[in-house]
Amino acid sequence: MAGGQDWNIRGSFESRHCNDPIRSLVDHGKFKPNPDKELIRLNVGDPTFYKNLPPSPVVIQAVTDVLQAGKDNDYKRTPGMAEARVALAKKFSYPVNPVHEDHVIITSGCAQAVQFALTTLCDPGTNILIPKPGYSMYKVNAACRQLEARYYNLLPEKSWQVDIEHMESLIDDKTRCIILVNPSNPCGSVYSKEHLLEIVAVAEKHRLPILADEIYGGVVYGGAEFHPLASLTDRVPILTCSGIGKRYLVPGWRTGWLILHDNHGRLEDVRVCLNNLWARILGSCGPIQAALPRILSEVPDDFFENTNRHLEAASKLVYEKLSTVSCLTPVKPQGAMYMLFGIKVDQLDGIADDLQFAQELMSEESVFILPGYIFKYPNYLRIVLLAPETLISEAMDRIAAFCQRRMKVKQAEKDKRQWVVL
């Protein structure tokens, strides 16, 4: 180590500003579980973590067959393998918005689709509109490319609908796109057709494209319906970013896509520039691309229904349990793999904010959930609904017990009458 200073070799601006708040929180070492209690992790948005939701045998077989055939070890041409792009174009074509395969780019996960879209649309000094609460990846993308992140409010009392007026008020001549995450991480909200069209109207008025992050497309329950944004309208250009990671429960396969829904050719220059970007990465994983046509067409519906049933049951359990604790305000989700609940800090002894709540819950009850400030939403916390139900149930009992101990006396007395778990 000594002597290293003479060299003065430094990380770049871009790399320095690419720090994921979730990773820095976890790496910080401030989260230590109670050694006497089994750790329950409701913090990771990785559906493979507890092994209770395995991928479909169909996708395993599709990839196995590709590997055994040995034909797809080559570079896949720009901007992805033709058969896979054709399959994606077919699956994501809608009567109002048909897609040609030239408008499909296959990427390393939805994350790279988002990165490509933002790199192509935005120069340093421009701004993008991001939902609040919102997935931290967008903030990271903005920070490392010197874009200004402007946060539009989602309203918890309206099931996290967009505050349309607030969104519109943030737009100026340096705005390059509106980012929409539906179904939402971290909120678990799913937007109605009418609400999506309200957002489209704002984008159309200001001539802005929408980056639609639909990685949780189809992950809905409780009577909610998922409407792909591009299925509703061609009045604005839409860059749909998605992938197989979440819906097919294989995030480590790192395969996603960017689809330009652009009936009127407004994204033609963007399409050309997007294809240039490809020269930097020389393609995404070939064998998974080769398996994509089968993955997209052969997985039976009951596979997806099973995931959605699990999420629905888990969300009910969390909502019902947390609703009985007076200092907590859970918001009912209808999709994705998450939900948020608020904490009334004025009713809790010695808890200043969501971070302290999360840390002390971890050190006393060994339950790990993420504080809302990670999503730009203090005094809320996010619960991941993927763990087995028995663990989620146990975790909710522990959260309730934790709150019960911390609740200021008067409130705790009132609650005792309706509180049964203890």
Ligand X SMILES: *Cc1c(COP(=O)(O)O)cnc(C)c1O
What residue ranges bind ligand X (CB under 6 A)? Answer: 45, 109-111, 135, 137, 181, 185, 213, 215, 243, 245-246, 251, 256
In the complex, what is the shortest distance from the CB of residue 108 to ligand X, in angstroms, rounded to a whole number? 7
Q: Which is nearer to ligand X, 168 or 214 (CB)?
A: 214
Q: Which is nearer to ligand X, 127 or 240 (CB)?
A: 240
- Give the span between the Cα atoms of 220 and 188, in whole angstroms: 9
In the complex, what is the shortest distance from the CB of residue 269 to ligand X, in angstroms, rounded to a whole number? 25
Q: What is the DSSP string of 283-315?
A: -S-HHHHHHHHHHHHHS-HHHHHHHHHHHHHHH
Closest CA to 302 of 87, 56, 117: 56
Question: Crossing angle for the helix pair 389-406 and 301-323, nearest 10 degrees?
Answer: 20
Closest CA to 384 of 40, 39, 25, 42: 42
In the complex, what is the shortest distance from the CB of residue 415 to ligand X, in angstroms, rounded to a whole number? 34
Q: Which is nearer to ligand X, 256 or 283 (CB)?
A: 256
Q: Which is nearer to ligand X, 45 or 293 (CB)?
A: 45
In the complex, what is the shortest distance from the CB of residue 256 to ligand X, in angstroms, rounded to a whole number? 4
In the complex, what is the shortest distance from the CB of residue 401 to ligand X, in angstroms, rounded to a whole number? 30
Both ends of the chain: CA-CA distance in Å? 54
| 156 three-class SS | helix
Contact between 399 and 382 (Cβ < 8 Å)? no
Residue number of the CB atom closest to ligand X:
109
Contact between 241 and 211 (Cβ < 8 Å)? yes
Contact between 131 and 109 (Cβ < 8 Å)? no
Q: Which is nearer to ligand X, 137 or 290 (CB)?
A: 137
Q: How many separate helices (H) and strands (E) can be counted in the chain?
A: 15, 14
In the complex, what is the shortest distance from the CB of residue 67 to ligand X, in angstroms, rounded to a whole number? 21
In the complex, what is the shortest distance from the CB of residue 215 to ligand X, in angstroms, rounded to a whole number? 4
Q: Which is nearer to ligand X, 185 or 359 (CB)?
A: 185
Q: What strands, in cross-sheet order, belong to the sheet with 370-371? A: 328-330, 338-343, 380-384, 370-371
Q: Which is nearer to ligand X, 114 or 396 (CB)?
A: 114
Looking from the CA of 276 toward its CB, the CA atoms found within 13 Å total: 8
